[in-house]
Chain A
Amino acid sequence: MSVTKKGERKQNRKQGGRYSRRNFLSMMMLAGGTAMGVHALAHASPEFNGWPKANGMLVDLTACVGCRSCEKACNEANNMPAPDKPFDDSSVFKEKRWPSAKTYTVVNAYENPAGSSAPVYRKIQCNHCLEPACATACPMHAYTKTPEGAVLYNENVCFGCRYCVIACPFNMPGYDYDSALDAKVVKCIFCHGRIKEGKLPACAEACPAGTLTFGKRSDLLKLARKRIMNNPDKYIDHIYGENEVGGTSWLYLSNVPFKNLGFPDNLPKKPLIELTSNYLSSVPVIFTTFPAIFGMIYGLMRGRKNESDSENAPHEKEVK
């Protein structure tokens, strides 16, 4: 580096050139302001109460008689493989089953604390959250919350990270491990095709006991409240799924505490995405502003170092 060039740069800096303190401070303020602005946007995201006119299912657990008609209908409607035990076999109630690659839904029997000899039955399937954690966790957007209500999974884009399996508060997306090469998530699809055709979900159509009521979620909430109001001694004053993790399309009424039936009872009322959205929304801000900020600091420091180098040891470089 020649002496004249060095001199020019020194001169530049004194005149308030590219790396002046004033410029640096103003850049910092700009970056900080942008970061805060984006953060404020993330906070201001409006509350989502589900798609208008979205469908739902009201499950009145007090009505279920454990006939397993829903399991059978689901199996037939979705062309699932034949079950290990026939659908009129009650021995399946001895264990707590879970939806698997072979079935979207199962009915389990739980002890009835009310002293009744008949057990309390609970149908288990995807609850089709209004703001599904599986969809927000998925890096490939394999999950879609449809305006009709169903949370659908697209196996063609899934690359098998299993984030959805961990994210789901209800433990629903199960991986089909039966096929090592073509592994995919198998979960209830809320009979999306049938609903679009104007039919009822297969389970709701099959249910003889009036346990499953399909309809608009808003109507079902009203119906559930009415049932609780008309039978305050029968029902627990809680519609499970109304507020859990921001609300689910499937709603439940029960006469025994939901905890006793294996429902998770420690879920927040807000959608799970709100636990991470503030943090995640700051990631792009950090990725864009931090390199700029630290780049500027680095530039300043390097400039100062060069400056002090040239002042302290001018001869070393000139030897070259």
Chain B
Amino acid sequence: MRIYFMKKPLFILIAITALSLMLAVLYGSSVKAEVSKKIPGTINIKYIQKQYGPVVFDHTKHAAMAGNCGKCHHSHNEKINSTCKECHALDAGVFKASAKQAFLPCSACHSDYSPDSPGVPGLKVAFHKKCFECHLGMGELGSSPAGCAKTCHVKKKA
């Protein structure tokens, strides 16, 4: 309640300091993401597993084959069927970090699907869409439902 009795200029000064502190923290986190330019190597994609076991994904191998991280990750250089507005309208800060070639994990923007923004697929769809770009047609993928477990996924033990 003491703020109430404070003089106005002092209050404004404190507010500005707090705001700038918050901004600095936010900026720092985005810079941290920017710095991690190293390819993550083999990862276990396990955020959304339900029916199947986690998918083991060799980042290095895939990056070498694609030749460009932008093939899968959004970036300013590689527009993947997106207009500027599409991403910038979502969260300019997050996108700014990815634009500086520090590719963020897919989950930074794609999480649970929300019907409020039908243009942004959920994490599961975002993953699968990228996989299908190359893997569709390999083995039984695309011709049989059994292909899912045979090609990429390991069926979870019941």
User: For the complex, is B66 an interface residue (Cβ under 8 Å from A)?
Assistant: no
User: For the complex, is B77 an interface residue (Cβ under 8 Å from A)?
Assistant: no
A66 to B145, CA, bound (A): 6
List which A190-207 residues lie within 8 A (CB) of chain B: 200, 204-205, 207
User: For the complex, is A308 an interface residue (Cβ under 8 Å from B)?
Assistant: no
Q: Which residue of A lies closest to B153 (CB)?
A: A208
A121 to B147, CA, bound (A): 15
Which of A58, A67, A117, A219 touches B137 (beta carbons < 8 Å)?
A117
A109 to B115, CA, bound (A): 28
User: For the complex, is A103 an interface residue (Cβ under 8 Å from B)?
Assistant: no
Q: Which residues of B contact A67 (CB under 8 A)?
A: 145, 147-148
Given contacts A200-B113, A210-B129, is CB(A118)–CB(B145) below 8 Å? no
User: For the complex, is B136 an interface residue (Cβ under 8 Å from A)?
Assistant: yes
- Could you say which of A82-90, A124-132, A166-174, A178-186 contacts chain B? A82-90
Count of CB-CB pairs between chains A and B under 8 Å = 72
Interface residues on A, range: 20 to 34
Chain B at the A interface: mostly helix, strand, loop or mixed? loop
Given contacts A65-B142, A66-B145, A90-B144, is CB(A209)–CB(B125) below 8 Å? yes
A63 to B143, CA, bound (A): 13
Given contacts A65-B136, A208-B125, A209-B128, is CB(A214)–CB(B145) below 8 Å? no
Binary contact track B59-91/A, C-beta < 8 Å → 1, others 0: 000000000000000000000010000000000
> Smallest CB–CB gap between A92 and chain B, Å?
9
User: For the complex, is A215 an interface residue (Cβ under 8 Å from B)?
Assistant: yes
Which of B129, B143, B148 touches A119 (beta carbons < 8 Å)?
B143
> Smallest CB–CB gap between B61 and chain A, Å?
22
Which of B115, B128, B132 touches A55 (beta carbons < 8 Å)?
B115
User: For the complex, is B118 an interface residue (Cβ under 8 Å from A)?
Assistant: yes
Q: Which residue of A lies closest to B150 (CB)?
A: A88
User: For the complex, is A220 an interface residue (Cβ under 8 Å from B)?
Assistant: yes
Q: Which residue of A lies closest to B52 (CB)?
A: A208
Given contacts A119-B143, A230-B81, is CB(A223)–CB(B118) below 8 Å? yes
Which of A66, A69, A205, A213 touches B118 (beta carbons < 8 Å)?
A213
A35 to B124, CA, bound (A): 60
> Smallest CB–CB gap between A71 and chain B, Å?
9
Q: Which residues of A contact B109 (CB under 8 A)?
A: none
| CB-defined A-B contacts under 8 Å, sample of 22 | A55-B115, A65-B141, A66-B142, A67-B148, A87-B145, A90-B140, A90-B143, A118-B136, A118-B137, A118-B142, A118-B143, A119-B143, A204-B113, A209-B128, A209-B132, A210-B129, A213-B121, A216-B118, A219-B118, A220-B118, A230-B81, A231-B81
Give B contacts to A, CB under 8 Å.
51, 81, 113, 115-116, 118-119, 121, 124-125, 127-129, 132, 136-137, 140-149
Give A contacts to B, CB under 8 Å.
55, 58, 63, 65-69, 87-90, 117-119, 200, 204-205, 207-210, 213-216, 219-220, 223, 226, 230-231
Known A119-B143, A213-B121; further 6 A-B contacts with Cβ < 8 A: A58-B118, A65-B142, A89-B146, A90-B140, A118-B142, A230-B81
